[in-house]
Amino acid sequence: MTTVPNAYLSSVLSGEAAAWPLGRFNAAGPLGWFHQLRADAFERASALTVPTVRDEDWRFTDLSPLYRLAFRPSRAGGMVSGATIASLSLPETTTRLVFVDGQFNAALSTPALTGNVIVAPLAGAVSDYAAIIRARLGQIAPIERDAFRAINTTYLNDGAFVFAGRNASHPSPIHVLNIATQAEAAIHNRMLVIAEAGAKLTVIEDYVALGDRVYCVNAVTEVDVADNAKVRLIKLQREGSQAFHLSASAARVQQAGQYRSNTISLGARISRETIGIELAGPGAGCELDGLTLINGRQLADTHSFIDHRAPHCTSRQLHKCVAGDTAHAVFNGRILVRQDAQQTNSAQESRNLLLSPRAHVDTKPQLEILADDVKCSHGATVGQLDEEEMFYLRSRGLPESQARNLLTYAFAAAIVDRIGIPTLVDRLHQAVMEQTRTKDSL
């Protein structure tokens, strides 16, 4: 494949030299492994080409608008007021890490170091907990074949580190708030979540923007779920309307571990969620719920891959897309059941609602099954609101537009309700209602 010259790639890779705040490369020092990880990633990123629509995985998501733009590494100094933080924080959470343009902001954060739970910036943690981190960082989301992950790892100097030791749990959800404030910034957020055997964690990965600027978030999240551990990841993507959001989240679930995720994508001009779940131990399970709610000229792409590697694992996935105006929603859900993964139980559903004549959706649920003793199903629908439900509401005196908004809202809100954190659910309900109310023309 020929290399396409592109402004994005050359701008992010040329900025690499400036992105070594930990000091120059030092393979012999105590952080030699960490430097090496980044150096390898840089080498990989330089060798890889960025995906185009010619790649099957990116067929429906044309990133050429991104490639035409040049970005610079995000700088420290983005201003976020206490009032803003207050409006974005949740009363249910007491532990919070705030990253402004990818830089940790200690003044706005409330880290935790209680008993067996650590919630801290990664920059310090790589020294303090080197043994724990070294075995996982960059291991769960491999960079070999993914240019964006390699770029993220090249720029890896800080991020969120969330750790729960054996049988530990944190009393409240952990809020990792990522705020974008600068124009033309390339922001590389990173998160590492580790739940040791029997531990329980809930993490809210939250992306918001101040002002409406062009910037690019390229985030990588790795989650390690040990035997019998339970991790829940709530991902909220509320980027600015001109932003690009590329995100990879990868989870590895060991024996009888449980991983749940709720992914809500509302913002960004072009967004991509790449979700990879590896059910590595017998009896592991995952539940993925996703909602994409877009309008205007937005494009939102969700690619998930559930890899059943061990027997007796279960997976359940429900993804809903609501697209208005000329928005374009993409869903690709791949489920692989390997030969040894007997007694697998897997169900996947993709539900899509088109609100305007020019909105469109591409969905591709994929099943690849190499074991015979399995129960797998998937379903996909594309449609409109139910005529009978509309009739019922109108017979109760609701005008057509209201009836339509109400049903659309209900379609989307069903996913939001599964988040289970009351304040957050309320706020998302508001957001969903606003997005589904605006359009009366149909």
Partner 1 sequence: MSSALQNLIDQPYKHGFHTDIASDVVAKGLSEAVIRTISAKKGEPEWLLAFRLEAYRHWLTMTEPAWPNVHYPKIDFQDISYYSAPKTKKKLASMNEVDPELLRTFEKLGVPMHEQKALAGVAVDVIFDSVSVTTTYKHKLAEVGVIFCSFSEAVKEHPDLVRKYLGTVVPTTDNFYAALNSAVFTDGSFCYIPKGVRCPMELSTYFRINTQESGQFERTLIIAEDSSHVSYLEGCTAPQFDTNQLHAAVVELVALDNAEIKYSTVQNWYAGDANGVGGIYNFVTKRGLCRGVNSKISWTQVETGSAITWKYPSCILQGDNSTGEFYSVALTNHKQQADTGTKMIHLGRNTRSRIVSKGISAGHSSNSYRGLVQVGPRAEGARNYSQCDSMLIGDRSAAHTFPYIRAQNSSAKIEHEATTSKIGEDQLFYFASRGIDAEQAVSMIINGFVKDVFTQLPMEFAVEASKLLGLKLEGSVG
What's the CA angle centered on 182, arms 181 and 188, to 5 degrees?
90
What's the CA angle centered on 431, arms 106 and 188, to 5 degrees?
40
Query: Looking at beta carbons only, is 123 or 376 nearer to partner 1?
Result: 376
Q: How far is the CB of 340 from partner 1 (least distance, A)?
A: 9
Distances (CA, A) of 79 to 97, 101, 108, 180: 16, 10, 11, 10
CA–CA distance, 21 with 24 (Å, rounded to integer): 8
Question: Which residues are CB-contacts of 16 (< 8 A; sequence separation ≥ 6)?
Answer: 42, 154, 155
Query: Looking at beta carbons only, is 46 or 342 nearer to partner 1?
Result: 342
Query: Looking at beta carbons only, is 238 or 351 nearer to partner 1?
Result: 351
Query: Which sign does the torsion angle of CA 415, 419, 421, 427 carry?
Result: negative
Q: How far is the CB of 272 from partner 1 (least distance, A)?
A: 18
Q: How far is the CB of 12 from partner 1 (least distance, A)?
A: 30
Query: Looking at beta carbons only, is 81 or 384 nearer to partner 1?
Result: 384
Which residues of this protein are in contact with partner 1, per CB under 8 A? 56, 339, 342, 352, 354-384
Specify whether the CB–CB gap between 335 and 348 falls below 8 A. yes
State both tokens at 128: 């303090």
Q: How far is the CB of 329 from partner 1 (least distance, A)?
A: 9
CA–CA distance, 48 with 83 (Å, rounded to integer): 42
Query: Looking at beta carbons only, is 68 or 358 nearer to partner 1?
Result: 358
Q: How far is the CB of 380 from partner 1 (least distance, A)?
A: 4
Query: Looking at beta carbons only, is 204 or 288 nearer to partner 1?
Result: 288
Query: Looking at beta carbons only, is 247 or 346 nearer to partner 1?
Result: 346
Distances (CA, A) of 424 to 181, 223, 240: 22, 22, 19
Specify whether the CB–CB gap between 354 and 360 falls below 8 A. yes
CA 74 to chain centre: 20
CA–CA distance, 123 with 100 (Å, rounded to integer): 15
Query: Looking at beta carbons only, is 59 or 429 nearer to partner 1?
Result: 59
Q: How far is the CB of 151 from partner 1 (least distance, A)?
A: 27
Q: How far is the CB of 248 from partner 1 (least distance, A)?
A: 22
Amino acid found at 409? Y
Q: How far is the CB of 375 from partner 1 (least distance, A)?
A: 6
